[in-house]
């Protein structure tokens, strides 16, 4: 049996809580059968993901971070809708006027888990793709670069997510 030092226990319980909340949201019910299966499945995933040191061990839950995560979810959904509408406009436009390019952006996030969520958030919004991360450098391919200024592009691609992710994950 693996030992549970306090940091690992905290990470496992935090991840378990987050996964179970997602389970309930996806299933849309708190029925005993569904919740029981969810508790077992999410605990198994949490134990598997935190069995060795890694980014999951940085994950901690507090009421403030939970509220910040809800705010992040709203921001992410808003950016997803905006990006989908932008790409839709390009698809149905008679003349395609895009300026694709690669942007080197700098993130202020220090937590590996926060950086993981940031890169996935950017990559999941249509019209963008995270090509790589190296330390605080984030290489982003954008479908339509609105500026040649690196700071403006960083604000465009990382700006909506970075502040709330720093509150959520540190």
| Whether residue 76 is found in the same domain as residue 150 | yes
Asked, for residue 18, whether it belongs to a domain, the answer is: yes
| Whether residue 100 is found in the same domain as residue 16 | no
Q: What are phi and psi of 30, to 5 degrees?
A: -115, 25
| Whether residue 72 is found in the same domain as residue 18 | no
**What pTM value is reported for the model?**
0.69
Count how many domains the chain has.
2
| Whether residue 18 is found in the same domain as residue 44 | yes
| Whether residue 51 is found in the same domain as residue 70 | no
Q: Residue 47 belongs to what domain range?
A: 6-58
Asked, for residue 1, whether it belongs to a domain, the answer is: no
| Whether residue 117 is found in the same domain as residue 52 | no
Query: What pLDDT tens digit does each residue of the chain (170 aa) get?
Result: 455 677 777 778 878 888 898 898 888 888 899 889 999 999 998 888 877 766 665 666 678 877 888 888 899 899 889 888 988 888 888 887 888 888 888 888 888 888 888 888 888 888 888 888 888 888 888 887 877 777 787 788 888 888 888 888 76
Task: Look at residues 120, 132, 128 and name the one whose alpha carbon lies nearest to residue 165.
Answer: 120
The helix (H) or strand (E) run that includes residue 101 is strand 101-106
| Whether residue 147 is found in the same domain as residue 93 | yes
* Cα–Cα dist 15/73, whole Å: 17
| Whether residue 79 is found in the same domain as residue 95 | yes
């Amino acid at each position: 049996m693996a030992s549970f030092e306090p940091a690992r226990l905290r990470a496992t319980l935090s991840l378990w809580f987050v996964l179970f909340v997602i389970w309930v949201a996806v299933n849309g019910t708190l029925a005993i059968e569904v919740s029981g299966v969810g508790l077992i499945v999410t605990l198994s995933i949490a134990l598997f993901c935190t069995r060795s040191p890694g980014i999951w061990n940085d994950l901690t839950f507090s009421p403030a971070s939970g509220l910040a995560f809800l705010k992040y979810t709203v921001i992410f959904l808003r950016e997803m809708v905006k990006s989908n509408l932008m790409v839709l406009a390009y698809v149905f436009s008679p003349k395609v006027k895009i300026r694709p390019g690669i942007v080197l952006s700098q993130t202020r996030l220090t937590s590996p888990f926060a950086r993981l969520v940031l890169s996935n958030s950017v990559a999941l919004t249509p019209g963008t793709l995270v090509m790589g991360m190296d330390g605080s450098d984030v290489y982003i391919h954008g479908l339509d670069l609105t500026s040649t200024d690196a700071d403006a592009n960083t604000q465009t691609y990382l700006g909506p997510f970075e502040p709330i992710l720093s509150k959520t994950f540190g």
